[in-house]
Amino acid sequence: MDNIPSISFRDGYPVVVEDDRYEVLRSEGEIVGFEELMSLLADYERLYFVDINGIERDRPQMDLIARLSTRRELWVDCGVRDMNTLLDLYVSGADRVVVSTKSMMDLAFIEEAVEISDRMVFCMDFFAGNMISSMEDTGMIELLGRAVELGYDTVVINNLDEKPLDLSDLRNAPRGDHHIYVGGRVENGEDERIKGRILDLKEI
């Protein structure tokens, strides 16, 4: 199983969710610094970077992305909404850019994105069992299949809720050379097509 740590940064600091709000990551009362965090994650070859500034304000932390990219293979989820930002992320050092249902407006965007780079990651975010998306209602398996048809070789199914997400429908997912990663709490997720997990800092 390929495990990838997910690290969230807001205003330059690593954060975790506490009581439904972001709090700066601390150890024994002290803020965890950049080097300390890198040391904590020394055993992992790649990082899944969640840029809260990008997601909430459409202002990705490009300097931080550049710094992180010199230390690990870096997958970046900043809620990318346009092609210019996507290109800037690659220029800043991202190895892979995440296109997520929580920020994209329609399927045309994921088509255009994968034409820019074959190193895209498609993420389906869920809460309370429902996909977080402003698109018209599309099921997980249907959307996964569409992403694979378009050329995405990596798909993330990410549950943002404390209640486990039922993945039993994955048995109906298309087979192929693509890889599926899952994040958050899930159940019935024992499927050979799942390559790995996206782990939050609490799990680590």
Provide CB contacts within 8 A for 107, sequence distance 6+: 135, 146
Element containing residue 89 per DSSP (H, E): helix 83-92
**What is the sign of the dihedral through the CA atoms of 36, 63, 49 and 175?**
negative
| CATH number for the domain that contains residue 53 | 3.20.20.70
Residue 204 lies in a domain: no
Structural domains in the chain (count):
1
Q: Which domain holds residue 165?
A: 2-199
Q: What is the pLDDT of residue 191?
A: 79
Structure confidence at residue 65 (pLDDT): 97
Residue 4, classed as helix, strand or coil, is: strand
Q: Is the pLDDT of residue 137 over 70?
A: no
* 134 part of a folded domain: yes
Scanning the structure block, which residue is given the tokens 């995405």? Answer: 152
Examine the pLDDT at 39 and tell me if it is beyond 70.
yes
Q: Does 101 map to a domain? A: yes
Mean pLDDT in residue range 127-155: 89
Q: What is the pLDDT of residues 52-89, one digit of tens each?
A: 999 999 999 999 999 999 999 999 999 999 999 999 99
CA–centroid distance for 58 within its chain? 16
- Residue 141 backbone phi and psi in degrees, to 5: -70, -40
The pLDDT of residue 165: 95
pLDDT digits (tens, 9 = 90+) for 148-167: 999 999 999 999 998 999 99
Phi, psi of 78 (to 5 degrees): -125, 20
Total-model pTM: 0.94
Residue 58, in any domain of the structure:
yes
